[in-house]
Amino acid sequence: MYDPSAVGASTTRLRSTLGAVIRRFKVPKQYFMALIDGCESDLVRRRYRTFDDLKAYCYSVASVVGLMSIEIFGYRHEQTRQYAINLGYALQLTNILRDVKSDKDRGYIYLPLEDMQRFRYTEEDLMNEVYDERFVALMAFQAQRARDYYHRARTMLLPDERLTMVAAEIMDAIYYRLLEKIELSDYQVFTKRVRVHALHKVLIAVRIWLGSKLFVKRLR
């Protein structure tokens, strides 16, 4: 049974806890506002005409989460902010490639319309799950864009930040593997949901964590 008083109490506790975290780590208010704007946009927007439009959305729902996280992790170098921003783009673009079918089933298209036009692949084609050379070329173009943002992020992370950012590096490795699996499937995202299995995620996390520890040890 719905209990308004219980919901109110839970909301109050959540606000109190979140407020304590914000004050402790001095997370800028504008990050939360940007995240709210990004989530709200899904209520009113179902298409993105250009990549610049999509990039602004990715910043709001993914990059700002990275910016919040590095405030909590702690960072030494200003360029680590660019690391967080670019990694956010890379992760969200990977999500978009994985979720093409589930998104379109809900009426959303996150592939930029200008790119679809470039490859002569229409909204009707997408809704009808047309899989052909046009779709493969379109998806390969998007995958390369995601790869570029992974590369940009990695070049911005300085060696003495690696251990501090180990959680972000684990996310990088898992999602990059997801991107590889999407590519290896020849972008067959209409017939199956590509995923990285739990055991593989654990192995990736252990590898990245041990690698970061050893790397920092060598630096010392």
Cβ atoms 95, 32 nearer than 8 A: no
Query: Is residue 22 a part of any domain in this protein?
Result: no
What is the count of structural domains for the chain?
A: 1
Q: Is the dihedral of CA 48, 109, 140, 175 positive or negative?
A: positive
Query: Residue 5: its pLDDT value, please?
Result: 54
pTM: 0.89
Q: 165: domain CATH number? A: 1.10.600.10
Query: Is residue 56 a part of any domain in this protein?
Result: yes
Query: Is residue 123 a part of any domain in this protein?
Result: yes
Q: Report residue 25's pLDDT band, with 50, 70 and 90 as the boundaries.
A: confident
Query: Is residue 155 a part of any domain in this protein?
Result: yes
**pLDDT tops 70 at residue 4:** no
Question: How does pLDDT run across 57-82, given as a tens digit for each residue?
Answer: 999 999 999 999 999 999 999 999 99
Please name which of 112, 109, 179, 193 lies closest in space to residue 140, comparing C-alpha atoms.
179
The CA distance from 136 to 32, in Å, is: 36
Ramachandran category for residue 186: left, alpha or beta (phi over 0 → left; psi -120 to 50 → alpha) = left
Range of the domain at 70: 28-219
Query: Is residue 15 a part of any domain in this protein?
Result: no
Query: Is residue 168 a part of any domain in this protein?
Result: yes
Query: Is residue 19 a part of any domain in this protein?
Result: no
**pLDDT tops 70 at residue 166:** yes
What is 21-47 written as a DSSP string?
A: HHHHHT--HHHHHHHHHHHHHHHH---
Choose between 220 and 59: higher pLDDT. Answer: 59
Query: Is residue 55 a part of any domain in this protein?
Result: yes
Q: Where are the beta strands (DSSP E) in the chain?
A: none
Question: How does pLDDT run across 106-127, given as a tens digit for each residue?
Answer: 999 999 999 999 999 999 999 9
Please name which of 35, 22, 161 lies closest in space to residue 92, comparing C-alpha atoms.
35
Please name which of 78, 148, 142 lies closest in space to residue 110, comparing C-alpha atoms.
142
